[in-house]
Structure 1
């Protein structure tokens, strides 16, 4: 059934859920598991690239296009029109369709005999994965009580991250288990993709038990009338500050994340295996450890700052990350570098943890899925810019001193992010004061 803004806005229901329900909790957990399973195939594919290359006899360029073009840019761009269905029709039906299509495309990847068909299948699977996240962040505000919305967002992010990392960590188990279950002759990576695809069937059955909450629409929905262009015209300043804050942060983080292993190898002459093990542990601890910290800060400070607390925490975290990055090039030992990288990633992960909640605060309920889908595409552009600029500077300016190039790209990006975050704080507090003077109550 299509969304009717007029009827929804005339309904005197509260703006958010008053309390958790058992079905609501189950739905949030299910969403995290479903998104995590979808993301697991990304890790499996990354680990299996050499085998995939041998199966199809393709070049490194083709593999690069598979990982970047098919996996990110095409998928994130085409997920935007798909998110429109989530904004206009039953989100539960869209959710079940995404799970079914994703599972079918994993199976298609397993049986594809030509690389173009495999490429198309993986690009299409990426679309369903990118469409899943906007759908989830559209659902959570209508499932979770307002005071628990940040916790619900962070819990979903943790489950999704666990699934994504599980694709890497358990890749050997997936390959061996699939080889045991499926006796016919085929490459092990094909059997593993088929096993992941078949796991979607029980997930699909469990999905029928999830909630399909009503949309809690507000005045922003009345003002925009479900029009994305109207929303952009109405809130362009806040949108610009949000993009500057989160986008520049992604540029800085990806400049380091994608190139730090190679840069430390060059800087300290360390073995690849030693760096990989240490970075794997650092990334796991920082990406998961930041979640309770971000949630606790949001809960403790929200009463004083309202919605300004989220850009405030983000700005402070970004500023705190700058010294760790600044001293990175001056450190003498690899262990010291690992400590600096860990501090940098912990602070930037803490900042990033609140980005979905900030976008939920900004986007009207009737446009929420599309806003998150567009944001996913914007993130892919900002994220690609970081390692691209750092690599170019390393080659053309820094004589292959990659660590210096990373810092040169990341520092100004972090500075812009912090300034935009503080601008968002000022705007949010001004909006809160206007609402208080108008007798509407602070937010």
Structure 2
């Protein structure tokens, strides 16, 4: 990028800015803890609908297709399309403040969801949650990259991504138990209020770091035009292949996360409370181990060969597919649960390696925007299409397979892991050349 371009678009960095020498290890732990809690709340509010789909469907008389609309397009529409402009602001303004405003917005709409009585009202509330969460992730990726040096980023991003299994587990457990004890409406209200309480705490605990503090270009805070980011990414085929691979695996990942409670209830006759306990504990344990293993393995192997970053999840998905297939077909609950535990962990091993690779294919001043473009592709396809895909396919298969329709829709969906593995293998061939030194 030319010096004139950088000068033309430069704006003063937000103040106060934390200097690299101030980012002591103990303070980094505090920052990571705050980011983790916010991401956990992000997934609590995002995933709670999955465990509450059964009582909501019963009370409001919804079809699987309508549930798919609520879990997919209703959330993903604004979530994906607003992420890029918000990330552009994050490359110019305080990422901490943007995340705090986002947290307050999505938490408020989550609490409001507990007051609705019609499908269209629920749809609008889920859209509101998506609007808020659009500013919650890309700025965090950029913050982490400025708090941790290169050789620790995959693990740092993996620790941050623990918010996915923790948030999913907490949402499932809280949602299931509160819905069983009282009703599904209170579950949304409680989770939303928790996020509103966290907002001022986050603002107090986290300070804005210097951009590019651990990179070759110090204080790389001058933002660049979107066209310049796209121009850089146009020369990086590995970025687009990584995005396609993440989107493909997210179709299955988000689809299974949303529909597994319904699968267990229909195929194995489990009660809501039992479903929440099984999935909550399973998501927490297997998901955390899978995310950490993927990040740690990528950091270890990636120091010698950058291709390891996408190859680690590619291998994980190839192993996960047959195990998931056997688990879905199992008639006994204990056998199905045992067979699905390992692939549940393997299915989240991509987060640390792939997100870290995305951070390294662009200069520091472009990271939030590049992350938002990555998330746009990932979430538009993964959330927007994935959850709806399984619900619609289940309704289409119902005339032929009856109550088994959801089982077969999930089996068909395993093909997306194979497609993801192919994209990651292709990206591994170009990543070394596209890596920013």
CA contact (8 A) 1:315 1:419 kept: yes
Give the deviation of 1:103 after TM superposition. Answer: 4.9
CA contact (8 A) 1:255 1:390 kept: no
Task: Within 5 Å, give how 1:8-407 maps onto structure 2.
Answer: 20-42=24-46, 60=62, 65-105=69-109, 120-171=124-175, 189=185, 193=189, 196-197=192-193, 200-201=196-197, 203-216=199-212, 226-227=226-227, 228-235=229-236, 237-260=237-260, 270-273=268-271, 277-305=277-305, 307-328=306-327, 333-380=332-379, 381-383=381-383, 384-385=385-386, 387=390, 390-391=393-394, 394-395=397-398, 400=404, 402-407=406-411
Give the direction of change, closer, same or farther, for the CA distance of 1:29–1:6 in structure 2 (3 Å limit): farther
CA contact (8 A) 2:74 2:123 kept: yes
Give the direction of change, closer, same or farther, for the CA distance of 1:391–1:309 in structure 2 (3 Å limit): same
Residue in structure 1 matching 2:426, options 423, 435, 439: 423
Task: Specify every segment of 5 or more residues in structure 2 that has no aligned partner in the other structure, as ranges.
Answer: 11-18
For residues 110 and 326 of structure 1, what CA distance do their matches in structure 2 show?
A: 36
Give the deviation of 1:283 after TM superposition. Answer: 2.6
Give the deviation of 1:27 after TM superposition. Answer: 1.8
CA contact (8 A) 1:5 1:221 kept: no
TM-score (norm 2): 0.75
After superposition, the C-alpha distances for 1:119-168 in whole angstroms (9 at most, x for unaligned) are: 54542233212321111111110011222212221221214542343233
For residues 392 and 112 of structure 1, what CA distance do their matches in structure 2 show?
A: 25
CA contact (8 A) 1:79 1:128 kept: no
For residues 265 and 195 of structure 1, what CA distance do their matches in structure 2 show?
A: 24
Give the direction of change, closer, same or farther, for the CA distance of 1:196–1:394 in structure 2 (3 Å limit): closer
Q: Secondary structure at the match of 1:304?
A: coil
User: Which residue number in structure 2 is paired with residue 13 of structure 1?
Assistant: none
For residues 128 and 270 of structure 2, what CA distance do their matches in structure 1 show?
A: 33
More off after superposition, 21-30 vs 137-146: 21-30
User: Which residue number in structure 2 is paired with residue 184 of structure 1?
Assistant: none
Give the direction of change, closer, same or farther, for the CA distance of 1:198–1:176 in structure 2 (3 Å limit): farther
Give the direction of change, closer, same or farther, for the CA distance of 1:388–1:364 in structure 2 (3 Å limit): farther
Give the direction of change, closer, same or farther, for the CA distance of 1:47–1:259 in structure 2 (3 Å limit): closer
Give the deviation of 1:30 after TM superposition. Answer: 0.9
Give the direction of change, closer, same or farther, for the CA distance of 1:121–1:20 in structure 2 (3 Å limit): same
User: Which residue number in structure 2 is paired with residue 440 of structure 1?
Assistant: none
For residues 323 and 192 of structure 1, what CA distance do their matches in structure 2 show?
A: 36
Give the direction of change, closer, same or farther, for the CA distance of 1:41–1:424 in structure 2 (3 Å limit): closer
Give the deviation of 1:208 after TM superposition. Answer: 2.9
Give the direction of change, closer, same or farther, for the CA distance of 1:241–1:20 in structure 2 (3 Å limit): farther
CA contact (8 A) 2:20 2:209 kept: no
CA contact (8 A) 1:49 1:63 kept: yes
Give the deviation of 1:410 after TM superposition. Answer: 1.4
Corresponding pairs, count: 410
Q: Secondary structure at the match of 2:211?
A: coil
After superposition, the C-alpha distances for 1:185-215 in whole angstroms (9 at most, x for unaligned) are: xx99469627843762464144133121122
Larger Rg, first or second structure (1 or 2): 1
CA contact (8 A) 1:5 1:226 kept: no
For residues 229 and 321 of structure 1, what CA distance do their matches in structure 2 show?
A: 34
Give the direction of change, closer, same or farther, for the CA distance of 1:392–1:53 in structure 2 (3 Å limit): closer
After superposition, the C-alpha distances for 1:232-263 in whole angstroms (9 at most, x for unaligned) are: 4222x223311332222223334544445655
For residues 32 and 126 of structure 2, what CA distance do their matches in structure 1 show?
A: 26
For residues 276 and 289 of structure 1, what CA distance do their matches in structure 2 show?
A: 20
Give the direction of change, closer, same or farther, for the CA distance of 1:352–1:388 in structure 2 (3 Å limit): farther
After superposition, the C-alpha distances for 1:35-66 in whole angstroms (9 at most, x for unaligned) are: 32344334556666788789xx8552676654
Give the direction of change, closer, same or farther, for the CA distance of 1:398–1:239 in structure 2 (3 Å limit): farther
For residues 59 and 329 of structure 1, what CA distance do their matches in structure 2 show?
A: 27
Give the deviation of 1:173 after TM superposition. Answer: 7.7
TM-score (norm 1): 0.74
Q: Secondary structure at the match of 2:135?
A: helix
For residues 409 and 57 of structure 2, what CA distance do their matches in structure 1 show?
A: 31
